[in-house]
Amino acid sequence: QPSLFIGGALDASTTWMSDAIDAYPTTLPGLSASHLLDGCGHWIQQERADEVNRLLTDWLATLQG
């Protein structure tokens, strides 16, 4: 399945899961894009709504259905 990862660099889970996130290209074979937003915490969709929406719509446009 196609997948997209967007996370906040200041989110605690990106710190304690950094090894897992680094492995996403091999553990998530459908991963087509990955973004870690600097200065952003856990609530990426609220903290950086415009950027998250742009990343989502750009990624969705790459899918063929």
Number of domains forming the structure of the chain: 1
Residue identified by tokens 């680094």 is 22
pLDDT, one tens digit for every residue, the chain (65 residues): 899 999 999 999 888 888 888 898 899 989 999 999 999 999 999 999 999 999 999 999 999 86
Domain of residue 24 covers: 3-61
Q: Give the residue from 10, 65, 2 showing the smallest Cα distance to 31.
A: 2
Q: How far is residue 15's CA from residue 22's CA, in Å, rounded to a whole number?
A: 11
Q: Give the residue from 38, 33, 40 showing the smallest Cα distance to 57.
A: 33
pTM: 0.85
